[in-house]
Amino acid sequence: MPSLPRFLAAFLALVLAAHTAPASKPAARTTSPNTLKTSAAVRRWMKTMTLRDEIAQLIFISFHGAAPNARSREYRNFLHQVQGNHVGGLILVNWSNGRVIQKAEPYAVAAFLNRMQRIARVPLLVSGDFERGVSMRVDSTTVFPHAMAFGAAGNPEYSRYEGEVTARESRALGVQWIFYPVADVNNNPDNPIINIRSFGENPDAVAEQVTAFIEGAHSDKKNYALTTVKHFPGHGDTATDTHMNMATITGDRDRLNRVELVPFRAGIAAGVDAVMTAHLAVPALAPPDVPATLSPAILTDLLKSELGFRGLVVTDALEMGGIVKNFTTGEAGVRALEAGADVLLMPTDPDAVIKAVMDAVAGGRLTRRRIQESVAKILAAKEKVGLDRKRFVDLEGIGDIVDAPEANEKAQEIADHAVTLVRNQGSPVPLAAPEQTCFVVMSENRSGSEGQVFTQEVRRRVARATVVTWDPSLSRADLDQAAARLNGCGAYAVAAFASVGAYRGTVGMLGGDLPHALENLIAAGKPVILVALGNPYVLRNFPTVSAYLATFSTVPPSEIAAVRALFGEIDIQGHLPVTIPGQAKYGDGIQVKAIHALRITGGGE
């Protein structure tokens, strides 16, 4: 795909100079769209835009990827926003059916997007939080593990490969903009929302992985995808979920330079297309009651002037608690633009944002020139991914691209290489007597699929293995009875799922009375192997287990990798990308060679 025109880059440099001028200077006078030096495609798109159209181009709304009925209220809302308001883009999100999170299907996503592109006056730029590949939002695509698994494997080539595959699958579905990689340095074990979404706690190692993913996503010019580093200026050292409240990063400027900003600098140097802001306060940079998303000191002075970033600045979702608890949706939109943002992501009321920004322009708080600066950048990005030439995707070609066998094999290899053995007292790993071992799956809820693949893999190796699943809904009495039925076991292998999710407020640990149940197993005096599928910090709560394995992800490939490691079918070669306070240091990892031939999932050896 063509790169941004040189003259547009020069224009944006002039824009930056204007934005970094002292606040006391009067705002620039409104400028006609025709005076902007942009490409022919951008000029053509902007030529017929009213101020209201321009403001709407800055707004991205969410969609689920399903195909709502044309007479439904949901579809009428899309017609209003896309055909009526002319919003600039969409973001694919999951939805809940009341019990479990639902993902979209590839063909449904592509068909819906073709439908929306058909009614859009200007092609829509479509985005997605594809943090572990497209599979984070769409079924039947390549399933990669979480970022921290890549950190444990320690090979940036894996991230580069993930970038290539994610870009290819994204473009096949009609998504051009990937909100990844995560550039946050997770150096706070109590972080409830970043955790395994981060590559780790070492800024330089995180920077390597960030760079590799960006390079991979940009490597195929026919499937070029826009990339995004997030959450600026760093969300790793906080114990607050910004979906619920505004967080605070307390480090001084020197600390920010040495830790939080390192991966962002690397991403910018690698040519990242966008930076996503964080809804957190950074007192070292701006007033403590102003989130970075709304701070000129952070988005303009630091990101643009000091770090030299010239690409798109996108807010994190404006519907999150870190914003809506302190600002109205319209005021948040205006302040984000004043701060230096270009894209207003998922405001609770797009119409209210449009009105508020129009009022701000009419009142002199913002200028039309300021709006057009961001519009020009967004439209240039649309041109960069070829939307000026082709806005529809080939539905029949999707099956030739997504969920490729070779991509899934590589994803499994990554999950295998990520498995890290942190403790192995008495060497219970690999299992000496699998047939005498009881396997306990501790899932996060009764309705999900966690542990199903783990159970299947165990029973493929030991047909009559004792495998039980416990979930937080079980009472303490029920769990005590369940544990008593396992008294005859020679050892216990406990697969504990602890994921990271929005709106929980606490770091993922075992729920309900599952901690009590695990302590009962430990008290039995037999070897207990704790396998953490997800949050690696679980060991802090159970320091007396005999052995501790970490996979750093909850996805099925990590379940398979865990079983392979337990049964001695793969080399255990991962290293901790984080410190587990009081238990293990960064870089720890007991190396164990495989003792059995690898059993290939699906049959055969």
**DSSP β-ladder status, 59-63 and 344-345:** parallel
Q: Closest Cα to residue 318, out of 293, 338, 346?
A: 346
345: its two tokens: 């992501």
- What's the CA gap between 111 and 473, in Å, rounded? 39
Phi then psi dihedrals of residue 531, to 5 deg: -110, 110
Query: Is the bond leading into 291 cis (omega within 30 degrees of zero)?
Result: no
CB-based burial label for 174 (10 Å; 0-12, 13-18, 19+):
buried
Rounded distance, CA 61 to CA 42, Å? 22
Report the alpha-carbon distance of residue 18 to residue 28 in Å, rounded: 8
Closest CA to 547 of 521, 579, 570: 521
Bridge-based pairing state of the strands 274-277 and 228-232: parallel
Active site residues: 243, 316
192 and 505 in contact (C-beta within 8 Å)? yes
| Block residue for tokens 């969609």 | 63
Name the phi and psi angles at 100, rounded to 5: -130, 160
| Cα separation values, 448 from 102, 440, 552, Å | 11, 16, 19
Amino acid at 367: T
CA angle 235, 241, 245 (to 5 degrees): 110
**Cβ burial, residue 66 (10 Å; 0-12/13-18/19+):** middle
Whether 232 and 275 have beta carbons less than 8 Å apart is answered as yes
CA dihedral sign of residues 564, 565, 569, 573: positive
Alpha helix ranges (H) inside 283-391: 296, 321-324, 329-339, 350-362, 368-384
Following DSSP, what letter does each residue of 106-162 receive, concatenated? HHHHHHHHHHHHHH-SSPPEEEE--BTBGGGTBSSS--PPPHHHHHHHT-HHHHHHH
Contacts of 301 by beta carbon, 8 Å cutoff, 6+ apart: 20
Q: What one-character DSSP code corresponds to residue 605?
A: -
CB contact at 8 A, 314 and 339: no
Cis before 80 (ω within 30)? no
Biggest alpha carbon–alpha carbon distance for the chain: 81
Contacts of 409 (CB under 8 A, 6+ apart): none
Give the closest residue to 57 by CA, choosing from 381, 379, 380, 386. Answer: 379
